[in-house]
Amino acid sequence: MKKILFVGVILAAAILLTRWPRESRSSEKALPGFVAQDVRRIVISSPGHSTSLVLGKAGWEVVEAGNYPADAARVATLLREATEARPIQQMDVPEDQLGRLQLDASGANPATAATRVEFLDASGGCLASLLLGKNLMQPGKTGQPGIVLGRHVKTPTGPVSLTHETFAGVLAAPEAWLDAALPRTADLVAMESHSASGHWTMALQDNGAWMVADAPVPPPKVYSLLALWMAPAFDSLAPDQKPFVVDRTLTLRERSGRKVVFSLGATAKGKIPARVEVISPDPKDATDPSRWQNRIFLLPAFYAEDTPLSAKDLLPSEEESPPRGY
């Protein structure tokens, strides 16, 4: 009977979420008294994973990744959702039923365990703690994904609450919080590649054309290369950070004289190990070189696959070449 009543409560909550407008939410917050500005550390944990985010001098950092910079926007979203979350519906769920909502705090069963988020102050004191459970879904039409309506959350001593805030980006894996952006470039005038297979330099001419080996590079090939490397991103940091054999280097040169150099290794399991160096003639360059030094990043394999090894691969193919006499 207890289980039947519990399922009935969940169904009623689903109907409520679809019909109760956002303005009708309780004025009481899910985390009463929570002040995001007081948070100096965030600990996110689930079975098998744990991530600590700390607020350093330059911003948020991921402790488990050697204090590598965290994705500031993702952290800000978490703090905003924690601040704004208000219950749409609250339920007193029996302890032995919390696992059905993935709110089991014991972590004994990963399939029913909650994701725990703890917000700590500068002294390590806990400002607030929140358990994140199962999303409430509205089923999609045939062949279509469902729609996330809200999420079940719970404080350690409070009832289960349904909130519109879904905390979608809150994962306990450290790599989920890394700022994956690599150095960006602008106003490029040259790109150079060095490898055992050859060397090429693609340079911008005064007339706006890009040339390699005294031949013009077709614009589509130029655009794809620039789009690939002007704002690259990595998947993760290499877990062991061991040195690797460099297969090729790729250098991007800006008009200002600033250079970004990528040293790339061999592809393994769909990833390429890479080291990054920023060389700038401007001592006030906003790029912090220490961010990239002594780090090995793992890039998706397409960065190597889509970057030609030889100059001939940049030149027009026979199908692309214009007929003789034109």
Q: What pLDDT is recorded for position 18? A: 41
- Sheet harboring 259-264: ordered strands across? 215-216, 210-212, 198-204, 188-195, 248-254, 259-264, 271-279, 297-300, 236-237
* Token pair in block for residue 164: 């519109």
Q: Give the CA distances from residue 178 to residues 17, 45, 63, 229, 254, in Å, rounded to whole numbers and listed in that order.
A: 33, 16, 10, 19, 27
Mean pLDDT of 107-134: 95
Apex 299 CA angle, 297 and 209, nearest 5: 115
Q: Is residue 8 scored above 80 in pLDDT?
A: no
Q: Is residue 143 scored above 90 in pLDDT?
A: no
How many Å apart are CA 76 and CA 36, to the nearest integer? Answer: 9
How many Å apart are CA 265 and CA 196, to the nearest integer? Answer: 12
Residue appearing with tokens 């208000």: 86
pLDDT in tens, 180-222: 999 999 999 999 999 998 899 999 999 999 999 889 999 999 9
How many Å apart are CA 305 and CA 248, to the nearest integer? Answer: 13
**Beta-carbon contacts of residue 223 (< 8 Å; ≥ 6 apart):** none
How many Å apart are CA 55 and CA 220, to the nearest integer? Answer: 43
pLDDT in tens, 229-276: 999 999 999 988 889 999 999 999 999 999 999 999 999 999 999 999
For residue 209, the number of C-alpha atoms closer than 13 Å in the C-beta half-sphere is 10
Mean pLDDT of 20-47: 80
19: pLDDT confidence band, cut at 50, 70 and 90? very low
**Beta-carbon contacts of residue 135 (< 8 Å; ≥ 6 apart):** 148, 149, 150, 151, 152, 166
Q: Which among 233, 264, 247 is positioned nearest to 198, based on CA atoms? A: 247
Residue appearing with tokens 């190990």: 273
Q: Which among 216, 209, 229, 211 is positioned nearest to 306, based on CA atoms? A: 229
283: pLDDT confidence band, cut at 50, 70 and 90? confident
Provide the 3-class DSSP secondary structure of residue 59: strand
321: pLDDT confidence band, cut at 50, 70 and 90? low
Longest pairwise C-alpha distance within the chain: 88
Burial 38-69 (b: 16+ CB within 10 A, else e): ebbbbbbbbbeeebbbeeeeeebbbbbbeebb
Q: What pLDDT is recorded for position 12? A: 45
**How many other C-beta atoms are found inside a 10 Å radius of the C-beta of residue 284?**
5
**Beta-carbon contacts of residue 321 (< 8 Å; ≥ 6 apart):** none
For the chain, the helix, strand and coil percentages under 3-state DSSP, each to the nearest 5: 20, 35, 45
Q: Give the CA distances from residue 228 to residues 69, 75, 186, 221, 300, in Å, rounded to whole numbers and listed in that order.
A: 22, 27, 13, 11, 11
Handedness of CA 283, 289, 293, 296 (dihedral sign): negative
Q: Which among 288, 77, 82 is positioned nearest to 177, based on CA atoms? A: 77
Residue appearing with tokens 């990963």: 110
pLDDT in tens, 159-174: 999 999 999 989 999 9
Q: Which among 144, 181, 150, 134 is positioned nearest to 15, based on CA atoms? A: 150
Q: Is residue 285 scored above 90 in pLDDT?
A: no
323: pLDDT confidence band, cut at 50, 70 and 90? very low
